[in-house]
Amino acid sequence: MTKVRIAIVGGGLGGLAAALFLRRAGLEAIVYEQATQLREVGAGIVVAPNMVRLLDALGLADRLSSSAVRLEGAWEFRRWQDGRVLFAQLMGEECVRLYGTHCYVAHRADLLKLLLQALPDDAIRLDHCCVEVRQNENEAELTFATRTGRKTKVTADVVIGADGIHSVIRPAVAAEVDSRFSGMCAFRCLVPAEDAPEMALRPVHTVWFGPGRHLVQYPISGGRLINVVAIVPAGDWRTESWTTDGEIPDLIKEFEGWDPRLHQLLNSARSTKRWALYDRYPLERWIAGRIALLGDAAHAMLPFLGQGAAQAFEDAFVLAECLKNADRNSLSHALQRYEAIRQPRANQIQVASRGREVRYHLDDGPEQQERDSRFAGGDPLRESAWLYGHDLQADLRSGVD
């Protein structure tokens, strides 16, 4: 039987995860990436337990633990003015007990490298910017442009659009819906540990809550760097590019009056990137014929649950499971099964992420007090069972045939 040929457009975390799972299932998957070099932004990422389990399935969890920081201490919520701890959730062994694994915080570049090194060189074609996709009853055809303007065509049995929030594949699948500007932007910086306040060095994921904004900090890269993400009102800022610089004084101004330790952290930052935050409304379709979407192309979400990449990994795992026994005649059915299994869960998380927008940014007052006392009496790790403990094998067993 000739192998099913799968073309993945986009070599981000989602596209690489898809290539790994598909190849592990014995399928021929090639990634086509527009960039001439694969790289991730200089920033951190929470590798939630549901994503760690999938890295483990790929045999990569041990290597993750050697570069990432294991959240041993706590998941800490603090108040803006005085840094008062509103709530500290123990992670470490409690996380293992509940979800079978630790939770990690990693440098994105380390994570990307981990995936890349697990793929053979011939699995990735760089400098391939997809400009068109077509399909007929027999196959799909992709047109790519190189930096020099040369065009090439590739045919495949299945096309996976893993090309991010501004996907060029998406219009072939779903009626185009504009991305939604959240009104917020993210400042991101990496602070060298030797310059950071003591409080920031602990293996703890800290979220600071204050009126109209919040800030997340945690150590990455074996503790050598502190990752800072500050979500603030965007004002006129609309640029959505990880490579666009912001100004440190603008970032510091956003946190006037906040705890001095937070200022010590921000003052130690040497540079910052600034990125306007967009998401999308859930799409009606993720597949059309032999074309399917995955990751941010399918479900771009706000980062407030730290699940965008984790959901791309879940897509990749389920997609490979659905395709692994498919032949050319049953491909479309296999993709329908993928969509039926994955769409409800990813959509739910996309909508829930947006819901956090208001809750995280309450002005001081009765609603904020009610939120903070809920934190104090809550158990966020257990309450995250629907995210971290989700059973994809059960989804596959109960998914439509």
Ligand X SMILES: Cc1cc2nc3c(=O)[nH]c(=O)nc-3n(C[C@H](O)[C@H](O)[C@H](O)COP(=O)(O)OP(=O)(O)OC[C@H]3O[C@@H](n4cnc5c(N)ncnc54)[C@H](O)[C@@H]3O)c2cc1C
Q: Tell me the catalytic residues.
A: 218
Q: How far apart are CA 165 and CA 177, in angstroms?
A: 11
Per DSSP, the chain holds a count of helices (H) and strands (E) of 14, 20
Q: Which is nearer to ligand X, 215 or 323 (CB)?
A: 215
Closer Cβ to ligand X, 32 or 99, answer by number = 32
Residue 134 burial (C-beta neighbours within 10 Å; 0-12, 13-18, 19+) = middle
CA gap 71, 73 in Å, rounded: 6
Question: What's the rounded Cα separation, in Å, for the pair 11 and 168?
Answer: 14
**DSSP codes, 142-187:** EEEE-TTS-EEEEEESEEEE---TT-SSGGGTS-----EEEEEEEE
Name the pairing type of β-strands 272-279 and 180-192: antiparallel
Question: Residue numbers of the site for ligand X (CB under 6 A)?
Answer: 9-15, 32-35, 45-46, 128-130, 162-164, 168, 186, 229, 295-296, 303, 306-310, 312
| Minimum gap (Å) between residue 393 Cβ and ligand X | 21
Instruction: Please state the closest distance from residue 197 (CB atom) to ligand X, in A.
Output: 22
Whether residue 305 contacts residue 41, with contact meaning beta carbons closer than 8 Å, is answered with no
CB of 141 to ligand X, least distance (A): 15
Query: Residue 49 or residue 399: which is nearer to ligand X going by CB?
Result: 49
- By C-beta, is 223 or 260 nearer to ligand X? 223
- Measure the CA–CA gap between 314 and 318, rounded to whole angstroms: 6
Eight-state DSSP code of residue 364: S
Which backbone phi and psi does 307 adopt, to 5 degrees?
A: -125, 0
Q: CB-wise, 252 or 387, nearer to ligand X?
A: 387
CB of 327 to ligand X, least distance (A): 28
Q: Rounded to an integer, what distance in angstroms lies between the CA atom of residue 198 and that of residue 211?
A: 25
Least Å distance between CB 373 and ligand X? 26
**Shortest distance in whole angstroms from residue 299 CB to ligand X:** 8
For residues 161 and 399, which CB has a smaller minimum distance to ligand X in the complex?
A: 161
Evaluate whether 225 touches 175 at the Cβ level (below 8 Å).
Answer: no
C-alpha 85 chain-centroid distance: 27
328 with 157: CB under 8 angstroms? yes
Nearer to ligand X, 46 or 55 (CB): 46
Give pairs for 79-84: CB < 8 Å, separation 24+.
79/208, 79/209, 79/210, 79/372, 80/208, 80/209, 80/210, 80/211, 80/255, 80/257, 80/258, 80/259, 80/262, 81/210, 81/257, 81/258, 81/259, 82/259, 83/199, 83/208, 83/259, 83/261, 83/262
| Least distance between ligand X and beta carbon 186 (Å) | 4
